[in-house]
Structure 1
């Protein structure tokens, strides 16, 4: 019986290169094979790819097993929801047209079994991180995307992959360490959102650190971790949300 909703983020497939990424892709496909048995829905919260750009007629090559498995699961009738991250923010309509997977560019609210969720990738939210917020405005500008599209894909993709790995400002992530509740931007963001509306769960990625923190009365902030070092994911069974590690 299908009873669970699954959440995962920050796979960064393609980093640091296709050869080293491949075992992680295989592991993620194995996870998808496992959860599809009892999943009522699957949420992917961004940075599935370390870089993604959709030209009018071209997308980055590779990731065939991951994309094929997502297509298989979606074709079986299980809903999949995708939220762009800061590494795949140039996603347009490829997932929607080819895989029938809706793509969201900002947070979205959901209700499951009378539990309310606020879900998103999490980049650029909360106080601070001003350098990345300025950079994101440049990257999401229509003129910037138009200029980049004029680069030949062999040049544009290679350049973007290099910058994605090397430049922490572009990646939006500092050294991954817990900063304390009073300094975690997404924790502060979650608490601020709760000032105007109640959510049972506020679920994000981006920080690469698996954590669940009480942020209000009957409200929890969760970060899903990543599929680089933690291989963690979230699961909601209809009553409770928890983080698990895929071995």
Structure 2
């Protein structure tokens, strides 16, 4: 994709809307909608890189209650012609066609490659990547199994959504959340993963969420690992202007 003059590409992740309660989440949702209103002015594309919701599950005819302002703003921006790319995270990995049909927003369940101008990107949420975190990796296989999703759909939404929201907040093995303390370059699984990916193919930017820590680190020749932070503690996002990628705070 060629990036026109004065246009930018924006990246944001880990909003976890709905947590810890809808009432406490509401101010963060309004802040994110305000950010979307600002960036749509010069956005060539917008990437939502996982965990927009703290829980999301699509029944055949039902989706979780709430998030009207966020969904409405995404629909407005997409209808204006600005591409939006949505990556599922470990909290909203049960996407199943709603965003594509209702919002015309493509949904990705794994890393994707992009080129903007002469810069190459690898983009993904980052959960379950790299070494370690074996407990979560096993749980993810269970949760993404079609039979497991079929069984869950038989729970009444009031029961299923309520149970899942509780576990999403309380059970860190299920949620896959890590301690949000920087562990050092040699111990950060996503940094290790990024370096491993560069052994087989070069990217200028490897962009992930999941860790909730805003980071930008050189991991190879003309290659940077980027973690986008979150919209809980940091309210950070990534912006690429055609030449450089920066982490900024809203």
Q: C-alpha offsets along residues 55-106 of structure 1, whole Å, 9 cap, x if unaligned?
A: 0100001000000000000000000000000000001110000000000000
Give the deviation of 1:2 after TM superposition: 5.0
Does residue 52 in structure 1 map to residue 94 in structure 2?
no
Does residue 205 in structure 1 map to residue 209 in structure 2?
yes
CA contact (8 A) 1:115 1:200 kept: yes
Give the deviation of 1:174 after TM superposition: 2.3
Give the deviation of 1:171 after TM superposition: 1.5
Structure 1 residue ranges, 4+ long, deviating more than 6 angstroms after superposition: none
Q: C-alpha offsets along residues 212-236 of structure 1, whole Å, 9 cap, x if unaligned?
A: 0110000000000000000000000
Number of equivalent positions: 246
1:97 aligned counterpart, secondary structure:
helix
1:241 matched to which residue of 2?
Answer: 245
1:81 aligned counterpart, secondary structure:
strand
Does residue 125 in structure 1 map to residue 123 in structure 2?
no
Q: C-alpha offsets along residues 2-52 of structure 1, whole Å, 9 cap, x if unaligned?
A: 510000000000000000000000000000000000000000000000000
What is the correspondence of 1:96-107 to structure 2 with a 5 Å cutoff? 96-107=100-111
Which blocks of at least 5 consecutive residues in structure 1 are unaligned?
none
Choose from 137, 150, 166 the match for 2:141: 137
- Taking structure 1 as the reference length, the TM-score comes to 0.99
* Root-mean-square deviation over aligned CA pairs: 0.7
- Taking structure 2 as the reference length, the TM-score comes to 0.98
1:217 matched to which residue of 2?
Answer: 221
- State the distance in 2 between where 1:173 and 1:183 align: 16
What is the correspondence of 1:145-184 to structure 2 with a 5 Å cutoff? 145-184=149-188
